[in-house]
Amino acid sequence: MKINYIHQKEKTLKPFTTHTGIVATLNRANVDTDAIIPKQFLKSIQRSGFGPNAFFDWRYTSDGKPDAAFELHHPNFEGRSILVTRNNFGCGSSREHAVWALVQDGYRVIIAPWKEAKGSRLPAVADIFRINATKNGLLVIELSENQVSEIFELVQAHSGLEATVDLEKQQIAFHGITPKIFSFDIEAGAKKQLMEGLDDIAQTLQFESDITRFEQNYDPYGP
């Protein structure tokens, strides 16, 4: 029995090594995936066209015009690609469309804080969101609440603040008058996947020769 593997990606993932971009802040905790991309936009699985609808219910008024009150519309955030937010980002349903919408809206990095509660560390983002982010080339950085609050202050104090993320060094440097550097942890497998620009299928295809060899030798009716 021979299985043919066809890997068609509409857009090849770009390896993530370093990234420099403008930092935007979303001062909201528990932003769920329905807020990131509402359910009416889940009909398509084409992985395209979701960007303009990211944060749709906050981004637009009832008549479909951009809502000037939405914090991500601040002029300082024009061209932003790094989003700093609060705890439990990407909670709710497991829809991968949420990550597609963020990536297509120009984001390469999400920064959120973990929390200490009763001696345990609560993750900065939902686990399934982190998995979906990694396989779509979106880096999630977890920092402490104090560190994230400090970043909010930096963004407020510096118009159009930029930062550079170095995934190999696991550092993010903010380019203010006095540069500020934060180090972050990341699971080794996720780091490798991002740095090599691999989605789940591409990772599997690294073992294509082993898979082929197994197929050639496998007897479904054998002992």
- Domain of 162: which CATH number? 3.20.19.10
For residue 83, being part of any structural domain is answered with yes
Tens digits of residue pLDDT in 16-36: 999 999 999 999 999 999 999
pLDDT value of residue 67: 97
Tens digits of residue pLDDT in 138-156: 999 999 999 999 999 999 9
At a CB cut-off of 8 Å and minimum separation 6, what does 77 contact?
A: 22, 24, 25
pLDDT value of residue 6: 47
For residue 12, being part of any structural domain is answered with no
Residue 12 pLDDT class (50, 70, 90 cuts): low
Q: Which long-range contacts (CB under 8 A, 24 or more apart) does 169-178 make?
A: 172/109, 172/111, 172/141, 174/23
Q: What is the mean pLDDT of the chain?
A: 90
For residue 10, being part of any structural domain is answered with no
Tens digits of residue pLDDT in 31-87: 999 999 999 999 877 888 999 999 999 999 999 999 999 999 999 999 999 999 999
DSSP state of 55: T
pTM over 0.75: yes
For residue 7, being part of any structural domain is answered with no
pLDDT for 7 beyond 90: no
Tens digits of residue pLDDT in 185-197: 999 999 999 999 9
For residue 117, being part of any structural domain is answered with yes
Structure tokens at 198: 């691999």
Orientation of helix 127-134 relative to helix 97-104, angle to 10°: 50
Average pLDDT of the segment spanning 149-169: 97
For residue 144, being part of any structural domain is answered with yes
Helix/strand/coil (H, E, C) string of 148-216? HHHHHHHHHHCCCCEEEEECCCCEEEECCCCCEEEECCCCHHHHHHHHHCCCHHHHHHCCHHHHHHHHH
Identify which of 170-174, 199-203, 210-214 has the greatest average pLDDT. Answer: 170-174
Question: 46 phi and psi, to 5 degrees?
Answer: -85, -5
Q: Which domain holds residue 74?
A: 18-217
Average pLDDT of the segment spanning 109-135: 93
For residue 5, being part of any structural domain is answered with no
Domain count for the chain: 1
For residue 2, being part of any structural domain is answered with no
Residue 182 pLDDT class (50, 70, 90 cuts): very high
